[in-house]
Amino acid sequence: MNSVVLVGRLTKDPELRYIPGTGRPVATFSIAVNRAFVNKEGKREADFFNIVVWGKPGENCANYLSKGRLVSVRGSIQNRSYETQTGERRYITEIVADRVEFLESKGRSESASPAGNDFEKSFEPVGLDSEGFQALDDDDIPF
């Protein structure tokens, strides 16, 4: 089974293009996803994933998403290769999304966007205790 779900912030605005001949839309962008643990310096590291979204969902991503927005992406991991003009073979791994959810409103992402290069603050989980668990109120427990 090839299935992946990621939650992260866009590292740049999506790019939309249309496939010649068919006119099929495709949007591409990348997201930064925090790793679960901090490094030796006490900072949270992130992994960067290239995302591909086809069709109307791709157009929606291009129209409504921008750098810094928090999204959830569900899809599959795919590898492809191509040959450069110099004859060198290049390999690419990307996430082909079948679902992209916008996790915050545009106004919230603008106020939460980090200034300068201070990425870590924008990726900190909200509502987690010091061990990384979701804090629950006794009223939230069904028994």
What pLDDT is recorded for position 43? 87
What pLDDT is recorded for position 124? 43
- Residue-number span of the structural domain to which 78 is assigned: 4-140
What are residue 55's phi and psi, to 5 degrees?
A: 75, -155
Measured CA to CA, the distance from residue 124 to residue 69 in angstroms comes to 14
What pLDDT is recorded for position 108? 60
Query: pLDDT of the chain along its 143 residues, tens only?
Result: 999 999 999 999 999 999 999 999 999 999 999 998 888 888 889 999 999 999 999 999 999 999 999 999 999 999 999 999 999 999 999 999 999 999 987 666 555 544 443 433 444 444 445 545 545 555 555 55
Calculate the dihedral angle through the C-alpha atoms of 14, 31, 111, 64, rounding to the nearest 10 degrees.
30
Question: Which pair of tokens denotes residue 61?
Answer: 């991503």
SS3 label, residue 57 = helix
Q: How many domains does the chain have?
A: 1
CATH number assigned to the domain comprising residue 107: 2.40.50.140
Measured CA to CA, the distance from residue 18 to residue 6 in angstroms comes to 25
What pLDDT is recorded for position 42? 85
With tokens 């290769």, the residue in question is: 81
What pLDDT is recorded for position 52? 97
